[in-house]
Structure 1
Amino acid sequence: MKEDYPKLFEPINIGNVELMNRVVFPPISTNFALENGRLTERFVKHYERRARGGVGLIIVENTSIDFPEGKHMPFQPRIDSKAVLKDWEWLTFEVHKHEGVKLSIELAHEGWKKIGVDYLSPEKIEELVEKFAYSARLAMDAGFDMVEIQGAHGLLVNQFLSPLTNHRDDEWGEPTRFAVEVRKRIAEKCGWDFPVTIRLAVDDFLEGGITLSTGREIALTLAKAGYDMIQADIGLGPKEKRLEPMYYPQAWRAYLAEKIRPLPVPVAAVGMIREPAVAEKVLETQADLIVLGRPLIADPDWVKKVAEGKEHLIRRCIGCSECIKAVHDEKGPIRCGVNANVGNEEEIPKAPRKRVVAIIGAGPGGLEAARVAAMRGHEVHLFYDVFGGQLTLAMVPPGKDKIGWLIEYYRNVLSEMPNVHFHEGEATKEDVLKLNPEAVVIATGAKPFLPCSGERGLITPFDKILRGEVRVENKDVLIGGGGLVGVETALYLAQFNNRVKIIKRSPAILPNVERITRGYLLRELEEKGIPILTGRRFVSAGEGYAVVENIETGEKEMIKCDVIVGAFGMKPYVPFVIDDVEYYIIGDAKSVRNIASAVREGYEVGRKL
């Protein structure tokens, strides 16, 4: 309830614009615009849906003020000419249908990261200042309540602010000069009562760059120059510090906001804030506003649910980085690992006829299928051995506990649906047939694959390790398989003073893992002294040793080890088939992939039923 989180729901002013709560949806790139920078229905619906959830302020993703020279992303929107004004009027109209929600847009220019701003002529700089101001006026005319300047993440304004990219000896060598002139020029075109905020690099996270001490000085200067709110963020440093994988703790970046306060304007905290209690604590001690990006991708009703006392029904972002993989690695439209409706934003319609649906398996695919089928009005029977399926294993390695949030979400949501019936225990074909189901969904996941069947007794499957069925301490451990499961099992075992090695057939390490998460995991392996021997094929095992073959040379070598752990891969598991009934196989039972694929297929099947 609102009363439980008084700071979260306390109004606050940004300039002369009052926000109804302290929650900000930040400018997260979606790649929903067209390549020419024009808006699409998908783009507009995405922001309208977040507005419907009751957020105080929405800031539209970084938008080009100078197309195409200043373009930053492949499908970045543009606001650089009157030709696009109708697009933005469409967006502001749809968002402002929701009473109290305020709307901003982040004005951005990529700049020249590799060479900085030293070579720009004074005339070019004046032109860029004018472009920021012109775009701000377009935004004002389109109905935006304010604008934000992108002054972080290594883009143009950050390049002026940072000593790493600005070595000029003229007036533009003063770090804040460009940002201050942008603010003045916007005021000339829009008036000082039109609020302008800035996403500010208060720490570059690079040696020789902006430090938190100089970042505070910059923030104070810009606040005095007329910026009406400051988001305390990072600058030129690694993407990992702003697109954090799930291993990072909640609200770890909030200290950036805390350290630049007090200022004469509000300060917003960003980064890995997931739960209302954490948000409230940040607002009590570290910041004036909180920024919820991925949480509002995962659940656009986050704010509404908190206000109504339904925080137990929030679908919390688990930090799986599926959104980052889609946008930054694949350069495609954003998607979410736990919310398959992103980019669609449809309301789940009732089915024309109620049916009996049996779902076998309660991993992410089965649970999502059950949720959506129940929303459609069907009588859903959920059969499972372990509620959560392989999520219960995935949450065990270090830093993976957030995956447990997804299990909690489904347990809470499904428990409140009277048309969902739970059948705990391994299901048989006969159990299912007794219900006379009209549709059956098999979501039984996958089981570990072990080579060398004659030596199975000498190889411990990874799932027994993560379940705690086999405890390994102070041992020499060899892990067969260097995929995500093998790497995370290795890090888990390293906690117990084990000396771990990994063998892997292919030279590519974690090839299908989003690159920021991949970099984090490789660094963890290095810090913990866990080598990966690539180009090695497991041949055989004996008591106290394993024999592996060098694939390139054909040479065999014996590796001494007390324990061999099998993480060679998984095989889809389908316990039975039921004929003459509408029948679906989803998730890893269909093809071994990841949480996002299982959730998406569960959603799609539930929607069909």
Structure 2
Amino acid sequence: MKEDYPKLFEPINIGKVELMNRAVFPPISTNFALENGRLTERFVKHYERRARGGVGLIIVENTSIDFPEGKHMPFQPRIDSKAVLKDWEWLAFEVHKYEGVKLSIELAHEGWKKDGVDYLSPEKIEELIEKFAYSARLAMEAGFDMVEIQGAHGLLVNQFLSPLTNHRDDEWGQRTRFAKVVRKRIAEECGRDFPVTIRLAVDDFLEGGINLTMGREIAMELAKAGYDMIQADIGLGPKEKRLEPMHYPQAWRAYLAEKIRPLPVPVAAVGMIREPAVAERVLETQADLVVLGRTLIADPDWVKKVAEGKEHLIRRCIGCSECIKAVHDEKGPIRCGANANVGNEEDIPKAEARKRIAIVGAGPGGLEAARVAALRGHEVHLFYETFGGQLVLAKVPPGKEKIGWLIEYYRNVLAELPNVHLHEGAATKEDILAVKPDAVVIATGAKPFLPCSGERGLITPFDKILTGEVKVENKSVLIGGGGLVGVETAIYLAQFNNRIKIIKRSPAVLPNVERITRGYLLRELEERGIPIIVNRRFVSAGEGYAIVENTETGEKEMIECDVIVGAFGMRPHVPFVIDGVEYHIIGDAKSVRNIASAVKEGYEVGRRL
């Protein structure tokens, strides 16, 4: 309830614009715009849906003020011409249908990351300033309540601010000057009462760059120059520090806001703020506003649920980085591992006819299918051995605890749906037929694959390690398989003073893992002294050793070890087939993939039933 989180629901002013709460949806790139920078219905619906959830301020994703020269992303929107004004009027109209929600837009220019700003002529600099001012005027005319300047993440304004990229010896060598003049020109175009905020690099996370001492000085200068709110963020440094993998703790970046306070204007904290209690704590001690990016991607109703005392029904972002993989690795439209409705934003409609649905398996696919089918009005019977399925194992390795949030979400949501009936225990074909289903969904996941049937028990499957059924301490361990499961099992076993090696058949390590998470995990292996020996195929096992083959030379070698752990992969598991009834196989039972694929297929089959 609101009274449980007084700071979160306390109004605050950005300039003369009052926000009804302290929650901010930040500029997260979606790739929902067209390549020419024009908006699409999908783009508008995405922001309209977040507005419906009751957030105080929405800041539209980084938008080009100078298309195409200043374009930053392949499907980046643009606000540099009267020709696109109608697009932005459309968006502002849809967002402002929700009383109290304020709208901003991040004005951005990529700049020249390799060269910095040293070579820019004074005339070019003045031209860029005019483009910022013109774009701000267009936003105001379109009905926006304010604008934000992108002054972080290594883009143009950050390049002026950082000593790493600005070595000029003229007036523009005064590193805050560019940002100050941009603010002054926007005031001249739009009036001083039209608020301008800045996403500010207060730490470059690179030696010789902006540090927090400099960052606070810059923030104070810009606040005095008229910026109405400062979002404390990072600059030129690695993407891992702003697109954090799951392993980072909640609100870890909030200290950036804390260290630049107090200022004469509000300061916003960013960085993996997922739970309302954490948001409230940040607001009490570290910041004036909280930025909820992936939090509101996973659950656009986060603010509304908190206000109504339904925190237990929040679908918390688990940090799976599926959104990052989609946008940054694949250059495609954003998606969410926990929320299959991102990019669609539909309200689940009631079914024309009520059916009795049997779902076998309660991993992410089966649970999502049960949720959606129940919301459509069907009678749902969910059969399972383990509530959560493979999620129960996936949350065991260090730093993966957030996966447990998804299990909690489904447990809480399904408990409030009276048309969902849970059947715990191993189900037979007869058990399924006993409920007389109109449709059956098989979501039984996958089982570990072991070569040579486990070599007479000499190979321990990884799941027995992660469940604790087999405990391994102070041993020499060989892990077969260098995929995500093998790597995370190795990191788990390293906690128990084991000496570990990983063998992998191909030269590619973690090939399907999003690159920021991949870099983090490889660093974890290196810090723990865990080598990955590539191009090695498992041949056989004996007491205290394994025989592997070099796939390039064909030579065989013996690796001594106390324990062999099998993480060679998984195979779909379909325990039975039921004829004569509508029948669907989803998730890993269909093809071994990931959480996002299972949730998506669960959503789709539940929607079709």
TM over 0.5: yes
Counterpart residue number, 2:260: 260
- Paired residues, what number? 609
Counterpart residue number, 2:408: 408
TM superposition shift of 1:342: 0.3
Helix, strand or coil at the partner of 1:183: helix
TM superposition shift of 1:454: 6.3
Helix, strand or coil at the partner of 2:386: coil
- Aligned pairs for 1:290-301 (under 5 A) are 290-301=290-301
Helix, strand or coil at the partner of 1:216: helix
Tell me: CA distance 1:454–1:98, structure 2 relative to 1, closer, same or farther (3 Å).
closer
8 Å contact kept, 2:24–2:56: yes
Counterpart residue number, 1:129: 129
Following TM superposition, the consecutive aligned residue runs of length 4 or more in structure 1 with deviations greater than 3 angstroms are none
Counterpart residue number, 1:228: 228
Equivalent position amino acid for 1:140 in 2: M
8 Å contact kept, 1:550–1:556: yes
Task: Tell me, in whole angstroms, the C-alpha distance in 2 between the residues paired with 1:84 and 1:269.
Answer: 32
Helix, strand or coil at the partner of 2:383: strand
Task: Tell me, in whole angstroms, the C-alpha distance in 2 between the residues paired with 1:307 and 1:10.
Answer: 12
Equivalent position amino acid for 1:277 in 2: A
Counterpart residue number, 1:285: 285
Task: Tell me, in whole angstroms, the C-alpha distance in 2 between the residues paired with 1:352 and 1:540.
Answer: 57
Counterpart residue number, 1:69: 69
Counterpart residue number, 2:439: 439
TM superposition shift of 1:37: 0.2
Counterpart residue number, 1:169: 169
Counterpart residue number, 1:514: 514
Helix, strand or coil at the partner of 1:602: helix
Is 1:241 aligned with 2:207?
A: no
Counterpart residue number, 1:367: 367
Helix, strand or coil at the partner of 1:401: coil
Equivalent position amino acid for 1:480 in 2: G
Equivalent position amino acid for 2:258 in 1: E
> Where does structure 2 lack aligned partners over 5 or more consecutive residues?
none
Task: Tell me, in whole angstroms, the C-alpha distance in 2 between the residues paired with 1:568 and 1:471.
Answer: 19
Counterpart residue number, 2:194: 194
- Measured against aligned partners, the alpha-carbon deviations of 1:55-91 in whole angstroms (never above 9, x if no partner) come to 0000000000000000000000000000000000000
Task: Tell me, in whole angstroms, the C-alpha distance in 2 between the residues paired with 1:147 and 1:489.
Answer: 46
8 Å contact kept, 2:454–2:460: no
Counterpart residue number, 2:565: 565
Task: Tell me, in whole angstroms, the C-alpha distance in 1 between the residues paired with 2:495 and 2:204.
Answer: 32
Helix, strand or coil at the partner of 2:455: helix
Task: Tell me, in whole angstroms, the C-alpha distance in 2 between the residues paired with 1:435 and 1:493.
Answer: 43
Task: Tell me, in whole angstroms, the C-alpha distance in 1 between the residues paired with 2:169 and 2:385.
Answer: 69
Equivalent position amino acid for 2:598 in 1: A
Is 1:525 aligned with 2:539?
A: no
Helix, strand or coil at the partner of 2:512: coil
Helix, strand or coil at the partner of 1:154: coil
Task: Tell me, in whole angstroms, the C-alpha distance in 2 between the residues paired with 1:450 and 1:434.
Answer: 34
Task: Tell me, in whole angstroms, the C-alpha distance in 2 between the residues paired with 1:54 and 1:574.
Answer: 43
Equivalent position amino acid for 1:18 in 2: E
Equivalent position amino acid for 1:267 in 2: V
Counterpart residue number, 2:328: 328
Counterpart residue number, 1:579: 579
Helix, strand or coil at the partner of 2:339: coil
Is 1:82 aligned with 2:82?
A: yes
Task: Tell me, in whole angstroms, the C-alpha distance in 1 between the residues paired with 2:153 and 2:337.
Answer: 24
- Aligned pairs for 1:303-314 (under 5 A) are 303-314=303-314
8 Å contact kept, 1:107–1:149: yes
Counterpart residue number, 1:339: 339
Equivalent position amino acid for 2:99 in 1: E
Task: Tell me, in whole angstroms, the C-alpha distance in 1 between the residues paired with 2:427 and 2:170.
Answer: 75
Task: Tell me, in whole angstroms, the C-alpha distance in 2 between the residues paired with 1:475 and 1:543.
Answer: 14
8 Å contact kept, 1:450–1:456: no
Equivalent position amino acid for 1:418 in 2: P
Task: Tell me, in whole angstroms, the C-alpha distance in 2 between the residues paired with 1:581 and 1:158.
Answer: 60
Helix, strand or coil at the partner of 2:290: strand
Counterpart residue number, 1:203: 203
Counterpart residue number, 1:139: 139
* TM-score, structure 1 as length reference: 1.00
> Where does structure 1 lack aligned partners over 5 or more consecutive residues?
none
Task: Tell me, in whole angstroms, the C-alpha distance in 2 between the residues paired with 1:39 and 1:173.
Answer: 37
Task: Tell me, in whole angstroms, the C-alpha distance in 2 between the residues paired with 1:174 and 1:511.
Answer: 44
Task: Tell me, in whole angstroms, the C-alpha distance in 1 between the residues paired with 2:260 and 2:119.
Answer: 31
8 Å contact kept, 1:320–1:337: yes
Task: Tell me, in whole angstroms, the C-alpha distance in 1 between the residues paired with 2:246 and 2:381.
Answer: 32
TM superposition shift of 1:453: 2.2
Equivalent position amino acid for 1:293 in 2: G
Task: Tell me, in whole angstroms, the C-alpha distance in 2 between the residues paired with 1:235 and 1:425.
Answer: 52
- Aligned pairs for 1:9-28 (under 5 A) are 9-28=9-28
8 Å contact kept, 1:108–1:150: yes
Equivalent position amino acid for 1:9 in 2: F
Counterpart residue number, 1:182: 182
Is 1:51 aligned with 2:29?
A: no
8 Å contact kept, 1:535–1:551: yes
Counterpart residue number, 2:601: 601
Task: Tell me, in whole angstroms, the C-alpha distance in 2 between the residues paired with 1:168 and 1:287.
Answer: 34
- Aligned pairs for 1:391-430 (under 5 A) are 391-430=391-430
Counterpart residue number, 2:356: 356
TM superposition shift of 1:238: 0.2
Task: Tell me, in whole angstroms, the C-alpha distance in 1 between the residues paired with 2:446 and 2:328.
Answer: 29
8 Å contact kept, 1:461–1:565: yes
Equivalent position amino acid for 1:226 in 2: G
TM superposition shift of 1:553: 1.0
- Aligned pairs for 1:480-491 (under 5 A) are 480-491=480-491
Task: Tell me, in whole angstroms, the C-alpha distance in 1 between the residues paired with 2:115 and 2:539.
Answer: 51
Is 1:548 aligned with 2:548?
A: yes
Counterpart residue number, 1:36: 36
Helix, strand or coil at the partner of 1:452: helix
8 Å contact kept, 2:484–2:513: yes
- Measured against aligned partners, the alpha-carbon deviations of 1:9-67 in whole angstroms (never above 9, x if no partner) come to 00000000000000000000000000000000000000000000000000000000000
TM superposition shift of 1:333: 0.2
State percent identity of aligned pairs.
Answer: 89
Helix, strand or coil at the partner of 1:262: coil
Helix, strand or coil at the partner of 2:281: helix
TM superposition shift of 1:373: 0.0
8 Å contact kept, 1:398–1:491: yes
Counterpart residue number, 1:452: 452
